[in-house]
Amino acid sequence: MAKRSGYARVSTTDQDLRIQRKALKRAGCGVIFEEKVSGTKRDGREELTKVLGVLGKGDALVVTRLDRLGRSLRDLANIAHEIEEAGAALVVTEQSVDTSTPAGRAFFGMLATFAQLETDVRRERQLEGIEAAKAKGVYKGRKPSLDRAMVREMADAGVSPSRIARDLDMARSSVYRVLGEPA
């Protein structure tokens, strides 16, 4: 028996899934997989992996917008391929995509391309903003996560690299990297 499974995702823990949940229920989803994790990468998206694993022939994976599924063209294409391999279809409610039809598959391809473009443009703008802020002396980058002076001080006091790493909560390889840098 064909089933409609929903997938809802927001990027941060302070965002709310209620609107997506309601839309997916209206779309006839019996089960909704939800997660609060970035969509820029597939890593760590356990609920997406679960929903893809339960799809079978004639089923549909339903999302409200394509960007809930993924942000890069490659990820979206890979996910679409997994859905197709399962014999299922992808339905995107707000963008009128249904990959069970030829027109829906074509529209999906176009939307995936635009999603990738949006990500690339956003990244480009961010880098331009960082460069402008650096030129004004406003942007300094993130604060160093390693206390290089403390690493050297502890090493000079005879503390082993393993102990330094443990005490400063850092990787031992980072300790060796700092110790190998010119003082």
Q: Which of 127, 116, 91, 81 is nearest to 3 (CA)?
A: 91
Is residue 72 among the annotated active site residues?
A: no
The 3-class SS string of 90-157 reads EEEHHHCEECCCHHHHHHHHHHHHHHHHHHHHHHHHHHHHHHHHHHHCCCCCCCCCCCHHHHHHHHHC
Q: CB under 8 Å to 72, separation ≥6 — which residues?
A: 40, 115, 116, 119
Q: Which residues pair with 5 in a beta bridge?
A: 31, 61
Residue type, 176: Y
Q: How far apart are CA 141 and CA 138, in angstroms?
A: 9
Which among 5, 11, 72, 96 is annotated as catalytic? 11
Report the catalytic residues: 11
